[in-house]
A and B are shown apart, each in its own frame.
Chain A
Amino acid sequence: MENELFQTLTSLLAYSCIAIGSAFIVIGGIGVLRMPEIYTRMHASSVTETAGSLFVLIGLMILSGLSLATVKLFAIALFLLFTSPVSTYALVNTALVAGQKPAVVKDQTSGASV
């Protein structure tokens, strides 16, 4: 009985993790489509890369339990944690160096850029 409850709870946790990850991915996708220029778009897409994929991977790790698959998923998660923020940084930095200007909204009242 207790074991059954434990299994239900872990699968609930796993599926909610996957759902949260998927939600992050959808939000990131919407952001990439809706944001005005590269810097904000990259901000949105980095949400997909880090939070989205990490939550999905954590969910899958909980689902697969203590097995070789978990070790592999952990390795993938570690790899993503290293590479995706770095690739985001590289893209944005290259854009900055190449002279892409961030879209700046002028504040009407004070005249200062916000």
Chain B
Amino acid sequence: MSFLFFFTLSFVLISAVLAVHARDLFVSTIWLGVFSLMMASNFFILDAADVAITEAAVGAGVSTVLFLSALALTGEKESGRRVYRLIPSIALLTLAVVLMIVSLDHPRLGDPSAPVHQHIAPWYLSETPVLIDIPNVVTAVLASFRGYDTLGETLVVFTAGIGVLSVLGFRPKRKAVVTAAQVSRRTVRIRDHLILRVVGKLLIPVIMLFALVVQFHGEYSPGGGFSAGALFAAAVMLYGILEGPDRSIKAMPQVIMLRLAALGASIYIFVGIFGMLLGGNFLDYGVLSSNPVAGQQLGILLIEFGVGLTVASVLTMVFNAFAGRETY
């Protein structure tokens, strides 16, 4: 295990350096995808399967597509000459050295006497079966014990979506007048590739089904709203790539996606407020049902649904905003 861990970790480092070094931005994007995939394998080796799914879906899948659609708008070459400045280089180097020295004080990986294994982790492990009774402790921590943090993350995702829309524009631009040369340049598109379309369309329902499994089976196996939302958005992106962005915008109109993103975050908040109305604390799901354990499970299911809805619709919205713009 340690050899494999070392291998993936060094590959993470190599791909990061190459991503920064590459002058061609497409190459850089591919290296970033490799970086994320290696990071996901790293997480998996460390038994953090939930994070690994999310990293693979978001880092290697969704963000690569977003980078590529951004590059389609800008251009593939890095502009300007590279200047190596002395003072920033020295500052960064010093910072790196300091961080390395600090990391020596870390407890060894998996050391049972490390503070994290003494203080809070045993409590989560011993109390989750009693209080919530679901096998996946990560989901219990994420959705119930640390529900405030997850609410914050969901709102951050929502805000990020709004931010991208406010930069790229809510409605796709009106079609520009296309000259004949531009048409001939654009004649070969993915829509004309029959094999790609047929196979890609076969995959879309499978990806969506997998997203639903990850969403609603998250208490029992790795997964949850974040990874499920990213997977669902990946399916929509695949459709948008295969059939053209105008089709995907038609299937998932931006206005509705915006409403759904707001709805997902609202579901989360309203579950919290509903708990307050029933006499509990904000985001205390125990009061949602007569049996506190069943109430916790119901609350987790509801807020995970809200998270999944927000993440899926925000990512779809961002992709449509990028892809819906005219590239010339």
Point out residues on A near B: beta carbons under 8 Å: 79, 82-83, 86, 89-90, 93, 97
Whether B199 pairs with A83 at a CB distance below 8 angstroms is yes
Option from A83, A90, A93 in Cβ contact (under 8 Å) with B203: A83
- Least CB distance from A79 to B in Å reads 8
Q: Which residues of chain B have a CB within 8 Å of any CB of chain A? A: 188, 193, 195-196, 199-200, 202-203, 206
Partner pick for B193 among A79, A82, A83, A93, CB 8 A cutoff:
A93
Contact residues in A for B196 (Cβ distance below 8 Å): 86, 89-90
> A97 vs B188: C-alpha distance in the bound complex, in angstroms?
8
In the assembled complex, the Cα of A97 lies from the Cα of B190 at a distance in Å of 12
**Nearest-Cβ distance from residue B326 to partner chain A, whole angstroms:** 21
Find out whether the CB atom of B188 lies under 8 angstroms from the CB atom of A82. Answer: no
**Within 8 Å CB of B206, what residues of A?**
79
Nearest-CB residue, chain A, relative to B190: A90
Cα distance A79–B202 when bound, in Å? 10
Given the complex, which residues of A lie within 8 Å of B195, measured CB to CB?
A: 86, 89-90
Chain A residues in 8 Å Cβ range of B188 = 97
Least distance between A88 CB and chain B CB atoms (Å) = 11
Which residues on the B side are within 8 Å of A82 (C-beta)? 199, 202-203
Chain B, residue nearest A94 (CB): B188
What residues of chain B lie closer than 8 Å to A89, measured between beta carbons? 195-196
For residue A93, which residues in chain B have a CB less than 8 angstroms away from its CB? 193
The 9 sampled A-B contact pairs (Cβ below 8 Å) are A79-B206, A82-B199, A82-B202, A83-B199, A89-B195, A89-B196, A90-B195, A90-B196, A93-B193
A76 to B200, CA, bound (A): 16
Q: For residue B203, which residues in chain A have a CB less than 8 angstroms away from its CB?
A: 79, 82-83
Taking CB atoms, residues of chain B closer than 8 Å to A97 are 188
**In whole angstroms, how far apart are the Cα atoms of A3 and B300 in the complex?**
48
Residues of A within 8 A of B199 (CB): 82-83, 86
Nearest CB in chain B to that of A89: its residue:
B195
Residue of B nearest to A86 (CB): B199
- Please indicate the chain A residues that have their CB under 8 angstroms from the CB of B202 in the complex: 82
Closest chain A residue to B199, Cβ basis: A86
Give the distance to chain B from A29, nearest Cβ to Cβ, in Å. Answer: 15
Specify which chain B residues have a CB less than 8 angstroms from the CB of A79 in the assembled complex. 203, 206
CA distance A107 to B196 in the complex (A): 36
Provide the bound-state CA to CA distance between A83 and B199, in Å: 7
**Beyond A82-B203, A89-B195, A90-B196, 11 additional pairs, beta carbon < 8 A:** A79-B203, A79-B206, A82-B202, A83-B199, A86-B195, A86-B196, A86-B199, A86-B200, A89-B196, A90-B193, A97-B188
A83–B202 Cα distance when bound, in Å, is 10
Q: A90 vs B193: C-alpha distance in the bound complex, in angstroms?
A: 8
Alpha-carbon distance A90/B199, docked complex (angstroms): 11
Chain A residue at minimal CB-CB distance from B198 = A86
Nearest CB in chain B: distance from A102 CB, A: 18
**Which residues of the partner chain B approach A90 to less than 8 Å between Cβ atoms?**
193, 195-196
Alpha-carbon gap, A77 to B196, bound state (A): 19
- Please give me the residue from chain A that is nearest to B188 by CB atom: A97
Q: Which B-chain residue is minimally distant from A90 (CB atoms)?
A: B196
How many angstroms from the CA of A90 to the CA of B196 in the assembled complex? 7
Residues in B neighbouring A83, C-beta threshold 8 A: 199, 203
Docked pose: A89 CA to B193 CA in angstroms: 10
Q: Separation in Å of the B235 CB from the closest CB of chain A?
A: 14
| Docked CA distance A86–B202 (Å) | 12
Residues from chain A with a CB closer than 8 A to the CB of B193 are 90, 93
Within the complex, the shortest CB–CB distance from A10 to chain B, in Å, comes to 25
Shortest beta-carbon distance, A2 to chain B, in Å?
A: 35
A25 to chain B, nearest CB (A): 15
Please, how many angstroms separate the alpha-carbon atoms of A56 and B10 in the complex? 24
Smallest CB separation, B205 vs chain A (Å) = 13
Q: How distant is the Cα of A82 from the Cα of B196 in the complex, in angstroms? A: 10
Cα A97 to Cα B185 in complex, Å, equals 11
Q: Which 3 A-B pairs have the closest CB atoms?
A: A86-B199, A97-B188, A90-B196
